[in-house]
Amino acid sequence: MNTLKITIKDLDPLDYYNGPVDLTKFRGNIEIDAGEGWCRFKTSVKASGYIESVGTVYAAGDIFSCGDIISGGYINSHGYIKSGGPIFSRSYILSGDYIESGGDIVSGSYIYSSGYINSGGYINSRGFIKSAGYIQSKGLVTCKQMQIGEVASGELVETRVLAQTC
């Protein structure tokens, strides 16, 4: 399978991908190393393999991968985020539509979805979870606080510490 490596040289001054390859239906893997910055896409980014980034991944459209989606920063899509494997972000995961994963969904911060959240594994957020739709997981749903949404399947575990009075 082909692997496209995107570096800072492939980004314009506003950090948008400016390379010669159309990434709206890329056949292969996408590896992004834009340093500690972000890589932005003016449309959707879709790969038949995995998408991995050292920093943040931002798309004005959808983010789709038949494999994993892994980001050292945050993952932000104005459309949906869909992965055949796990979705992992060291920071937040933000979707203008649904979030769907064939594996686990893990966020170092919060998870926010304007649609549903569906995980083939567990869902783990170090912050809150907000979902305009249902939340479905084949495993635990762990977060500090469920702010909006309802767990349709899976077990919710909130880890926030409540003030206790004696």
| pLDDT classification of 29: cutoffs 50, 70, 90 | very high
For residue range 39-58, list pLDDT tens digits in order.
Answer: 999 999 999 999 999 999 99
Average pLDDT over residues 118-129: 94
How much of the chain exceeds pLDDT 90, in percent?
A: 80
DSSP notation for the chain? --EEEEEGGGB-TTSBB--SS--TTBSSEEEEE-TTSEEEESS-EEESS-EEESSEEEESS-EEESS-EEESS-EEESS-EEESS-EEESS-EEESS-EEESS-EEESS-EEESS-EEESS-EEESSEEEEEEEEEEEEEEEESEEEEEEEEEEEEEE-PPPP---
Average pLDDT over residues 76-98: 96
Q: What pLDDT, on the 0 to 100 scale, is given for residue 78? A: 96
Q: What pLDDT, on the 0 to 100 scale, is given for residue 163? A: 53
